[in-house]
Structure 1
Amino acid sequence: MELYGDYHTHCRLSDGRQNEEEIINAARERGLKEVAITDHGPLAAVIGVGDADEYLKLRDRLDAIVNNYPDIEVLLGAEANIRDLQGTLDLPPEIIVELDILIAGLHPYTLPTSIKDGWAVFVQNSLRHLGRGQQEKAINNNTKATVEVVYNNPQLDILSHPGLFFTVDIAEVARACVAKNVLFEINCAHEHPGISAIIEADRVGVDFIINSDAHFRETVGNLNYGVKLVKKLGIAPEQVANRRQGGGYKQWRKNKKNCTYS
């Protein structure tokens, strides 16, 4: 299976080790038609952008150089962080409407909206090793936060690496993605989700997207993990949004509005 684009990469604005032009050129060398630069939201410690306005500055820089690359479409996106059990994101609506693509996921060391939510999501997840009861509570809370971000943010395009760092009920998360037309990411950098989770999500009927989550120039467009798994598991090409025949992001992106933000 050949893929049209890579819609999850990071540059030096967050925790990437590459600038935007290095991402663009790496994607071109891979033969991709589209690439999105999707840096982490500002409220994840260490890995986030310094300020949400950095996305607007990146937009200006991209606008100034895209004509140099007529063979590829360069997209501005963000990987927002989930902050609480209600699925609140760490990006304001006025930034989200400027994005071509919105991704969201759970990440460690994200600033929660309240002490209560910090305990319920991030502290509870750290307690999951202390026995079955704590583990079940963590999974329930992680699942709720992930499902709520899908339901409460109709502009969300992609759910990033579902279950990575924060174990979730894959079937429940997949049902939310199907209901709200959110793409379920197969993340090649982390080789996640694994086979059993992808089988479960496929059984529910999600549409997948295969992304690199590249932080280095060498891994932009490296989508082999996802391509091999899709082929191995017999997943229909029509379920992979960024297949070469899919026609690019304009076929599946959402209208940016009605963000849950605080």
Structure 2
Amino acid sequence: MRIWPRVIDGVGVLRGIEANIKNQQGEIDCSGPMLDALDLIVAGFHEPVYAPRDKAHHTEAMIATMASGLVHIISHPGNPKFPVDIRAIAEAAAHYDVALEINNSSFTHSRPGSEPNCRAIAEAVRDAGGRLAFGSDSHTAFTLGDFEHCLHITREVDFPQDRVLNVTPRRLLDFLEQRTGKHIAEFADF
């Protein structure tokens, strides 16, 4: 990862991963030197690494992942294949200072049925005093940075935009520095 420049054509490049939550103990499938080299750790449930079970198991695993201190963002927690206790995960996210992602592709093709869960997550995180992160999950350049549905949901529930991590580069960088203690000198002007 050290060979990739930190800034390419004026765009800052974070070193990150979307890891898998592996089990109920909240372990993720990234550790050691690899984990230490990363700036941003996102984790979530993905089949077949973690097969869908029931709400209690999913909630316990997600909260344990947040409690580990290794993860900055939980990806697509509104996935209806992995139901969770929304209030419990929102309160845990606020307590452990982990953002919950509102994933734009969940509203279109990736995870049908996510919209009511994402709305409830935005409301619960708002009420718990936590943070959200927007994700395009585009997998293609055509929808990279498309947060139309995320913005709609957060406006609909009157979510404070100052608690959305990646509305500005500086907000996300400040959050990561506060969480990790790592300062990325090349991003000083962002």
Check whether TM > 0.5.
Answer: yes
Alpha-carbon distance between aligned partners in 2 of 1:106 and 1:155, rounded to the nearest angstrom: 15
Correspondence for 1:140 = 56
Gaps of 5+ in 2: 108-113, 182-190
Q: Is the 8 A contact 1:75 1:100 kept in 2?
A: yes
- Percent of residue pairs identical: 24
- Do the aligned partners of residues 175 and 215 (structure 1) sit closer, same or farther apart at CA in structure 2, a change above 3 Å counting? same
Moved more, 199-208 or 73-82: 199-208
**In 1, Cα distance between the equivalents of 2:47 and 2:137?**
16
- What letter matches 2:172 in structure 1? Y
1:174 matched residue in structure 2: 90
Aligned match for 2:43, one of 104, 109, 113 = 104
Deviations 1:191-217 (A, max 9, x none): 344323322232222211111112111
Aligned partners of 2:120, 2:43: CA distance in 1, in Å? 22
TM-score by length of 1: 0.60
For the residues of structure 1 that align with 2:23 and 2:158, how far apart are their CA atoms? Answer: 36
In structure 1, runs of 5+ residues without a counterpart are 1-55, 111-120, 126-137, 257-262
The one-letter amino acid paired with 1:159 is I
Count of residues paired in the alignment: 171
Contact 1:155 1:255 in 2 (8 A): no
Secondary structure at the aligned position of 1:80 is classed as strand
Q: 1:231 to 1:89 in 2, by over 3 A?
A: same
The match for 1:74 among 10, 13, 18 is 13
1:141: Cα distance to partner? 0.5
Could you state the TM-score of these two structures normalised by the residue count of structure 2?
0.82
Distance 1:248 1:236, change over 3 A: closer
Query: Which amino acid counterpart does residue 227 of structure 1 have in structure 2?
Result: L
What SS does the aligned partner of 2:106 have? coil
Separation (CA, whole Å) in 2 of partners of 1:187 and 1:174: 16
In structure 2, the CA distance between the partners of 1:86 and 1:73, relative to structure 1 (3 Å rule), is same
Are the equivalent residues in 1 in contact too, given 2:94–2:125 (CA < 8 A)? no
Q: Which runs of 4+ in 1 moved over 6 A?
A: none
Equivalent of residue 255 in structure 1, options 158, 169, 180: 180
Residue 237 of structure 1 corresponds to 161
Q: How large is the Cα RMSD of the aligned pairs?
A: 2.1
Paired residue type of 1:186: I
Distance 2:8 2:64 in 1: 40
The CA distance in 1 between the partners of 2:23 and 2:136, in whole Å, is: 26
State which drifts further: 91-100 or 184-193: 184-193
Letter of the aligned partner of 1:81 in structure 2?
A: N
Secondary structure at the counterpart of residue 16 of structure 2: strand
